[in-house]
Structure 1
């Protein structure tokens, strides 16, 4: 490590990261098995299956008892359970189309008043309703954003009471390594990770390369932060350290490390450098895109064709928002339909804007310089937010 890298991250931290990466060395026997399991001929696949201890590594996790769920009513003959994805429909339309009386939909909305707004949704969000078979009264309702974000209303003495379920979220660092085969997702599984790791790796390598550039026969060693819900995998939040070593022994490895400290945040190489020529990143890492740039979009609030000159990301209020690239703050404050907004001027005349924020990072002002992935504010619904 260079002096610059040691000075930026701290020598003790660097030593710990190196030691952990050394632990994450793939077994030599994995190479042929990964190659066969990643899309080779039937004969090669059969050979891999016959190998000792064949099969992807399974990371050991311990399931945690969870809260009461509507699925616990599956054998209740007096209840009818319906479930569906929200899709492009409004909340009321989605529920009434599944046979939930409109007055019961309003009961649900009243129960969640002040806790959750259902006009802020993703198409993939799901709902589950337990209806009384005779009266069609709602006995319980669940709104599932993800495995780790679930809202529930349950009837107690005739009153629906709503809350966000405690899914016992836990974060831990996981260490592993894998050989790159023809199918990256399967290669990742052989290393004991979930396929979702590929997207997190791409985020860490942004501006340097992508997983599409991984060569078959290469080696990846990684430390990642993993979140579990009720003891089961939920998501990866970031890469702590990563090394990609190409199959060609003469080629230089690519190494990145995460750093979050005063004046700097993001992924750095082993010389303490961030990408300079590119490296544009998502403002809300891991959040799904809910609406893309579209000059002929049907506006979800105005209900008419209205140009959408941006990209919307779906995330809960309070989720951190980061600068997509280094630059200087040119605007901060209310901006009409855009709500609370931050504008950042980047090199080469490019400018980015961040709308509908719930609040800005404390102390930030016009003229401040910000770095790539620097915290600038938090997700909200201010302005004309769909």
Structure 2
């Protein structure tokens, strides 16, 4: 699968025109291509399309590959017009759509060109099903499965499909009759079955003719930007991407506790690699990098996808950091530590040296406080100097405490089971406190320990052996991201009150970020 350094098979193809900003669906999107469009050699044109022409006029049906569906009824004679011919590869490559992000997969000059008022083209991945089950799920009738079996040859068997194979069918919109079938085993490698007029002793008749097809495959890098106006999936699709991109973006953003989820008005700049078959878009390979601005008042976040050695896989930030899923989570969103665990701290109120048995986090009043891990609430109530306090018992002799809360979350009482990131209360300044903040304490077997020793929301870094390569790919991606225009007419989204409020935390010894 291509990564940052994708190269073109044919570097001297025609340069695509510069795209114009477009408004589509729920997204204001801009797209551009940073490489030239690939071309198909004349030899490839001649081989493929001459083969189809010979099949149409030949008196002997090209034998096919496909095994009859067990128990299927014999084909019945149905008077129907043959499917319109597929356009030539040359005319397909010349379409203007090749210069911008394509709207959806399966637009190579193949079965998809039959799509029209009379014919519908559907496709699916075989997955854990048999090929016959995949065809049935697309609406292919048993009689048509039997028709396919009459074109049998050693090319392909319907019972030999792999999970990653893609199946395409062309069905008449009115009669749902099968007009064509493709089984794609790899980009550019497929078995194509088309309904054609074939001459015979009794005259010409409509038959399904099959052949193995190999088309040239190239890779290209695309860039686009979009703004979310309803939800991320519809925004991604309207920008010319697809569901697989949504999953990648969700994986990247969802793994980071310090990055808020997208809302209306969030904007993206995306670099993605795609596979092109016969010069036209076939499928998305991966997102190389993207820049995400959660809200207009927050700084953008850039993330880079790598496929290096173990320890250098997945999404990394500009510093080469990648979150590691651990059992323990931070008690606040966007945590900012103002006072660390210190056995000999000068108490900010009493002005005497006494242990600081926890960590203080700066936060605005009313900010939700989360359980750092799964466990059972042991105490909820007023604890004197600690103010409103919640303590939770966890496996392994660990106990966590959340002090100075303004109030408790509904339903959080002694004996309640909670999961990690369950809201247990809200930041306040109750008890012996100089201002609103959260004091988090952790005990191991009854003894106070540094809460950060639990490695909450820890991260790994790019290994030394991979850093030079990561830096080079990052620099290349940064140059592309910088060149992508942000989408026009960005809606202004007001920041939530809790996130925009400021507070002076208690016991502040230094204002340092978590990492």
TM-score w.r.t. length of structure 1: 0.40
User: Which protein, 1 or 2, shows the higher relative CO under an 8 Å CA cutoff with sep ≥ 6?
Assistant: 2
TM-score w.r.t. length of structure 2: 0.32
Name the larger-Rg structure. Answer: 2
